[in-house]
Amino acid sequence: MADDDLGGCIGAMFLLALGILALMAVISVGSLFGAGVALKNYAEALQKNVRPERGRS
């Protein structure tokens, strides 16, 4: 009986760790994705808006 409880507990802990790892992986991928999109957006905004002033020649 005690062995069954221990096995179940380890199994639950393993599943939990697996879940956390999966969540962390998703969050990592999500953060990279979100940061990448934001960086791309900022770079495009810079490209569009930053221009040196020129005289009328």
Nearest distance, CB of residue 15 and other proteins, angstroms: 20
What's the rounded Cα separation, in Å, for the pair 18 and 2?
A: 24
Q: Which of 13, 20, 21, 37 binds other proteins (CB under 8 A)?
A: 37
SS3 (DSSP) at 9: helix
Nearest distance, CB of residue 23 and other proteins, angstroms: 11
- Residue 40 amino acid letter: K
Interface size with other proteins, residues (CB under 8 A): 25
- Take residue 57 and report the two structure tokens written for it: 């020649």
Which residues sit at the interface with other proteins, rule CB under 8 A? 26, 30-35, 37-39, 41-42, 44-46, 48-57
